[in-house]
Structure 1
């Protein structure tokens, strides 16, 4: 009886450990629970852009409309549909089924659960195999799942371990249907331009390595697997691919000018490289690399003094050198691009420094392999615990929700309902309809001192937006509106002319403050708007979070001012005279 129990326990332990990690993740997710939309979610590059574009697609029924002439009317003067995210991605599907906030929160939870299972699979199968490591694998997978990666990009970061596990399996034996499901799922649920290209390139390096060593069957299996992933991306990212191949519009990205945007100098590049090495990038997971570095140092110091120890030290040194080289490349990339953009204009449109999307997994692999060389005991658990605390502590979305539960959410970080302020913007829509008889589709607005995404989420049709890709001709048509303000501020002029993803109404007095709260109130003394150019684009109203001291100088008149309890904004609405 005793022997039979011993035979059962090792098989039960991994399942129990994994279940414990899943339960822990669900308990941590309770921090997001709040009534009436009072949850905090990331604002920058998230609520101010990613969620609004999905809403715009769905409200016009254009999520799956990939016809060459399809446009989304409520963005700019009619944005080509193929400039926006794919309609096949899960976040868009959830937004079609649920209101925006529940859709985002459910998507966030699903992404992190997928990340936990993905990392656990890689650890158990390849990096920390064996029943005795099951609990350690579960804890490390939990630490991976809570990293502050942007989940609006799906599993671009957190799902990478599953792809690595499949590719490593293909080196040894033919794939099974779960392997194909993983590759198709990753292509469906991740971004091609942010992570997919680099995952395919890394897989291609592995393929070439196998072929160079004469393992042609393994290379063939890898080629087939990478082909499945690439074809999935072609299907899911059809809007982007068709826009590129069909030449449907010239992108504003072709005017990116890194020589105007990037400070030059060796010191600048080294400082940026050090930041990439020790912290990473906020889109792909910003966390201090302390635990992997301590684990690598401990493994090198505590391993027995044998030839294997010397080999381990060389391996760890090579891994750290590769990570350092990648960080330096990312750090110096703006300067490298500034030097080469004339010879290779494509460098302006595609950002190779997004290699940083692969770096969190590389650091976790270094941590896992170092833990494998350390003796069992409290030391290993301390390192995993440290990594878990670092990941949670630097996950600002989670920590700010904890502070909200404690009643200590900073005034500068509003909740979803305060930021979107549906009651406030509803008052504006109702007043315009009552006084003019116009519905939002009959006029266009632009925003000053608040992200246009807020207006988009509230059903307005906006001439301004924060977009990664839109027609260059529109950028040129929009510039006269703000030319007077750009002339006052060389920094804003470079920000728009050499980059321009934020196609916004700018104010030299506000600078890059794109979130002007209701308190303290702000007044812009001198603001220049080309009202005639604004009207030519279809503009009628300016929704401003700051009061204009002299609206008539810009060809505007006050339509009304609006406040609502709990809203982050105080709105002044101006109409073109």
Structure 2
């Protein structure tokens, strides 16, 4: 094929489209908006601290991460074999995150294109290439958490490898894909459910063909073994050595989740039509329109064939939606008899649904004869992904000078100059480095302090020792007594092991423009001091700090920072 022909191919056009999509992050750099919830307020600081303190591959039973929670057990955190670690070791947290953004979406586009061209749209027509490229781009721009690696967007590569092994002898690259996927995905979020989905594919193949595809069995075994190898520290620490009792044993999803069948049905409908934000939240409208269009316009024979393809998928998606929607209520019934259900969230099967909905859409596109209608559906899916990608939209707003005040840039959120000034102020007064004292944060995520070199007693962690939760609770017991909402939030969940104030509620990000004052902060300063705490970094002013056992040392401002920080010291 001539170079000019290759250059104008649909795949290259899709890659150029992806580059345009990524330009806002690349142009803005530190001024980019980075998703905060469950991302910048927790996930990004973890690989940064593991690599900064040379703990990524330190799996000793007594290894701890000093800046988190007075020494969080290292094996409570993500694996050091993840490809995330080299990126954070080589780059600053921001550029490591942006490298994830670029690489994960590129891998997603190429994986979806390869899957479609190999198994779903294999014919040599130009339109099939354009459909595959368009769907690849639509897949790559979905709203995701890049810090989770290829947990979502890399799934087409796994399906491609398994289908290749199911069809024939496969190729060495298929085995390589099954080895690489566990190295850049999150087992507890998606990996376990990808393995379960692969097992269902194996059972479906056995039921259809009445024989076992042993290469598919071997591929599933290899995928499972690789996850066991990559996540060995987690399995060893919790199941074998039992290095600590996880705080997740006190989870009570029955208190946190929806109550009643109406709430369960509403949640199930959201899972079916929208999905879940960790696993890509987007409206399934293109696939649903595709189903209607294909059934309305296709021939009788094509409709029968389509129904055979779609019915199992839609039944499976419906069952998953109902299961996820009612999961908190189901767990509440059996969690005392099966404590493991408190610690491992089985509702994360929803991580499989984005790919399954794209498969539904592809099945419908194959039955449509109208070329314009096919491309219209692909374009609609692309627009849905763009419209629901809040991180991308926020960066577009910044580019055009319409930045949203509640969506600060990475630089404003982390505020390195502001926190460097706080550190210098403490050092000038005491001569102490951050490792020699402990802080806690009120009204701002502790991850901000961690990214700036502070050692925090509080943190947002998915897994930490239960005794630490019990030790931390007295610090905020007075505030929890004022608010049933916060009390349930901490006692029945507790991933956010934060300083809390009933007057703030669940507002854990109080920007400088809010000018908030907490009139009465019921804080146990003696318990805080006993844990080694010296300073409270507060984004809100305390009206009566003396009653909280604190005294104001100084107020810190920076016009470029999202925060205004009040530095309080234990009296």
Q: Give TM-score, length-normalised by structure 1.
A: 0.96
Please give the alpha-carbon distance, in whole angstroms, between the structure 2 residues aligned to 1:242 and 1:409: 46
Compared CA separation, residues 318 and 222, structure 1 to 2 (3 A): closer
Alignment of 1:180-329 (within 5 A): 180-212=175-207, 216=211, 218=213, 220-245=214-239, 246-306=241-301, 308-329=302-323
Please give the alpha-carbon distance, in whole angstroms, between the structure 1 residues aligned to 2:342 and 2:570: 36
What SS does structure 2 have at the residue aligned with 1:33? helix
Decide whether the 8 Å contact of 2:517 with 2:540 is kept in 1: yes
Out of 385, 394, 399, the position equivalent to 2:388 is 394
What SS does structure 2 have at the residue aligned with 1:230? helix
Please give the alpha-carbon distance, in whole angstroms, between the structure 2 residues aligned to 1:149 and 1:374: 30
Alignment of 1:332-343 (within 5 A): 332-343=326-337
Please give the alpha-carbon distance, in whole angstroms, between the structure 1 residues aligned to 2:418 and 2:564: 9
Measured after TM superposition, the shift of residue 31 of structure 1 is 1.1
RMSD value, Cα = 1.7
Please give the alpha-carbon distance, in whole angstroms, between the structure 2 residues aligned to 1:537 and 1:175: 57
Please give the alpha-carbon distance, in whole angstroms, between the structure 2 residues aligned to 1:87 and 1:11: 43
Out of 91, 115, 119, the position equivalent to 2:112 is 119
Number of residues of Structure 1 aligned to a counterpart in Structure 2: 568
What SS does structure 2 have at the residue aligned with 1:382? helix
Measured after TM superposition, the shift of residue 214 of structure 1 is 6.2
Q: Which runs of 4+ in 1 moved over 6 A?
A: none
Compared CA separation, residues 10 and 459, structure 1 to 2 (3 A): closer
Out of 313, 337, 347, the position equivalent to 1:353 is 347
Compared CA separation, residues 276 and 213, structure 1 to 2 (3 A): closer
Decide whether the 8 Å contact of 2:310 with 2:363 is kept in 1: no
Residue of structure 2 equivalent to 1:64: 57
Alignment of 1:53-132 (within 5 A): 53-132=46-125
What SS does structure 1 have at the residue aligned with 2:439? strand
1:516-551: per-residue Cα shift (whole Å, max 9, x none)? 000120000000111111011110000000000010
Measured after TM superposition, the shift of residue 136 of structure 1 is 1.1
Out of 138, 158, 178, the position equivalent to 1:143 is 138
Measured after TM superposition, the shift of residue 36 of structure 1 is 6.3
Deviates more, 1:363-372 or 1:240-249: 240-249
5+ long unaligned stretches in structure 2: none
Measured after TM superposition, the shift of residue 202 of structure 1 is 1.4
Deviates more, 1:312-321 or 1:223-232: 312-321
Residue of structure 2 equivalent to 1:37: 30
Q: Give TM-score, length-normalised by structure 2.
A: 0.97
1:395-435: per-residue Cα shift (whole Å, max 9, x none)? 01111111110111110000000000000000100000000
Decide whether the 8 Å contact of 2:306 with 2:363 is kept in 1: no
What SS does structure 2 have at the residue aligned with 1:557? strand
Decide whether the 8 Å contact of 2:141 with 2:389 is kept in 1: yes
Decide whether the 8 Å contact of 1:258 with 1:335 is kept in 2: yes
